[in-house]
Homo-oligomer: A and B are copies of this chain.
Amino acid sequence: MYQIAIVIFDDFTDVDFFLMRDVLGRSQKDWTVSVLGTKPQHHSALGMAVKTDGPLDDANKADVVLFTSGYKGVPAALADEAFLSAFRLDPKRQLIGSICAGAYILQALGLLDGIQATTHPDAKAGLVKLGVDVLDKPLVVEGNIATAGGCLSSMYLTGWIAERLYDADKRREVQRQLIPAGQQA
Q: Which residues of A contact B (CB under 8 A)?
A: 13-15, 18-19, 21-23, 25, 45-46, 48-50, 118-122, 124, 135-139, 148-153, 155-156, 177-184
Instruction: Check B14–A15 contact: CB distance below 8 A.
Output: no
A149 CA to B120 CA, complexed, in Å: 27
A22 CA to B100 CA, complexed, in Å: 15
Partner of A150, one of B21, B49, B151, B179: B179
| Chain B residue contacts of A48, Cβ below 8 A | 18, 48, 50
A36 CA to B152 CA, complexed, in Å: 26
A150 CA to B180 CA, complexed, in Å: 4
Query: Quick one: closest B residue to A153, CB to CB?
Result: B180
A97 CA to B148 CA, complexed, in Å: 31
Q: A48-B48, A49-B49, A50-B48 are contacts. A181–B21 as well, Cβ < 8 Å?
A: no
Instruction: Check B179–A152 contact: CB distance below 8 A.
Output: yes
A124 CA to B180 CA, complexed, in Å: 13
A12 CA to B153 CA, complexed, in Å: 23
Partner of A22, one of B14, B120, B138, B182: B14
Other A-B contacts than A18-B18, A22-B151, A118-B181, 17 sampled, CB-CB below 8 A, are A13-B22, A14-B21, A14-B25, A15-B23, A15-B178, A18-B19, A18-B48, A19-B19, A48-B50, A121-B181, A122-B177, A136-B181, A137-B182, A138-B183, A149-B180, A150-B178, A152-B179
